[in-house]
Chain A
Amino acid sequence: MKFLDRFRRRREPPSGEVARERLRLVLTYDRTSISPALLETLKDEIISVISRHVPIDPERVEVTFKEGAREHQLVAHIPLRPTGRGRRR
């Protein structure tokens, strides 16, 4: 077991890399005041607004923050629910 653990542990990224990725996110939130909680709120409200008009799959909706060189973006990924093509209404 100990022997296997050694291999398993090696696959985890070193802690310096973890720190860098965590910082990248934290600094983005700090700089723009867009927190993970705010992203959740936006997601919930987008789901409720859009699903009033179009059937969407709320489980797969994603709202993320994307940092660019010139501008930052909010990116919403909103998959539509399959409408049952061919079925008669």
Chain B
Amino acid sequence: MAGKVITITSGKGGVGKTTATANLAVALAMREQRVVAIDADIGLRNLDVMMGLENRIVYDLVDVVEGRCRLRQALVRDKRLPELFLLPAAQTRDKTAVSPEDMVRVCDELRQSFDYLIIDSPAGIEQGFRNAVAPADEVIIVTNPEIAAVRDADRVIGLLEAEEKGPIRLIINRLKPEMVRRGDMLTSEDVLELLAIELIGIVPEDETVITAANTGRPVALSDDSLAGRAFHNIARRLLGEEVPFAPLREPGLLERLRDWFGRKEGEP
């Protein structure tokens, strides 16, 4: 087995990297993939609480790198999905405790036993980011349709392209269809045109993401939320499936009529 390393990064903080990491890990694991989610945000770890695994951490990434435990011992198994594991970050250390070479070495070992390694990068473009992207086979940029997030995403894309890291794909997170309709939010087309990279998914703003974080149950565990379904679509695209980009708003009258007639014609 030679697992694929996907790093989730953004430049700006608070756009939903950790949420995306947790949910893509869950969605891939629900599709029979062996997945390990890796928290590369040393000193400010949060992937553990988003996944609801914070009480089961014994060792962390820095313990592995500094030889206090074997890699296997630091992996936390998610009891809800037998194919899903977490490699937590250290909370009491800082980014300098790990080097890009350490990350490459740890990931090379994990590739042997997992299909997907999903790395949650810290915000920023300093060493924590360098650590997170060093082992990446593929990078997913998370952004919001909002001026500061898009600008920072562009900066990160520039850095990754200069290093010839890639492919680089984009998640537009927390889109509010109602604000887009009023013209008061950048549209997904605007963001794509400005950043000029391939889109892998659009996740609408969804309150259930917050309640999911409250309880440590990522939205992708069930299929009854818009955001959860959006993350499952992204997981399917990662696995190579062609999934159309569904409209995020309620269809208008004309579209409903067209669909209705279309369906009639399509029926045997």
B residues within 8 A CB of A16? Answer: 179-180, 183-187, 190
**A window 1-30: CB within 8 A of B:** 13-17, 19-20, 22-24, 26-27, 30
Contact in complex: A20, B183 (CB < 8 Å):
no
Contact in complex: B187, A23 (CB < 8 Å):
no
Q: Tell me if B150 is interfacial: C-beta within 8 Å of chain A.
A: yes
Give the secondary structure class of B's interface: helix
A residues within 8 A CB of B184? Answer: 14-16
CB distance from B26 to the nearest CB of A (A): 32
Q: Tell me if B60 is interfacial: C-beta within 8 Å of chain A.
A: no
A residues within 8 A CB of B151? Answer: 23, 26-27, 30
Q: Tell me if A87 is interfacial: C-beta within 8 Å of chain B.
A: no
Q: How far is the CA of A64 from the CA of B187 in the complex (A)?
A: 27
Contact in complex: A20, B194 (CB < 8 Å):
yes
Query: Number of A residues whose C-beta is below 8 Å from B?
Result: 14
Give the secondary structure class of A's interface: helix
Q: Which residue of B lies closest to A21 (CB)?
A: B190
Instruction: From B146, B158, B183, B194, give the contact of A24 (CB < 8 A).
Output: B194
Contact in complex: B158, A20 (CB < 8 Å):
no
CB distance from B15 to the nearest CB of A (A): 15
Q: Which residue of A lies closest to B146 (CB)?
A: A19
Q: Tell me if B147 is interfacial: C-beta within 8 Å of chain A.
A: yes
A residues within 8 A CB of B120? Answer: none
CB distance from A58 to the nearest CB of B (A): 33
Contact in complex: B150, A15 (CB < 8 Å):
no
B residues within 8 A CB of A31? Answer: 154, 158
Q: How far is the CA of A22 from the CA of B155 in the complex (A)?
A: 16
Instruction: Knowing A27-B151, A30-B155, A31-B154, say if A15 contacts B190 (CB, 8 Å).
Output: no
Q: How far is the CA of A19 from the CA of B191 in the complex (A)?
A: 10
Contact in complex: A19, B154 (CB < 8 Å):
no
CB distance from A6 to the nearest CB of B (A): 15
CB distance from B196 to the nearest CB of A (A): 10
Q: How far is the CA of A31 from the CA of B156 in the complex (A)?
A: 11
Contact in complex: B185, A23 (CB < 8 Å):
no
A residues within 8 A CB of B72? Answer: none
B residues within 8 A CB of A14? Answer: 182-184
B residues within 8 A CB of A26? Answer: 147, 151
Identify which of A17, A23, A27 gathers the most chain B CB atoms within 10 Å of its CB: A23
Beyond A23-B151, A27-B150, A27-B194, 10 additional contacts (C-beta under 8 Å) are A14-B182, A15-B184, A16-B186, A16-B187, A17-B183, A20-B186, A23-B147, A23-B186, A30-B158, A31-B158
Residues of B within 8 A of A (CB): 146-147, 150-151, 154-155, 158, 179-180, 182-187, 190, 194
Closest 7 CB pairs of A and B: A14-B183, A20-B190, A15-B184, A16-B183, A19-B147, A16-B185, A27-B154
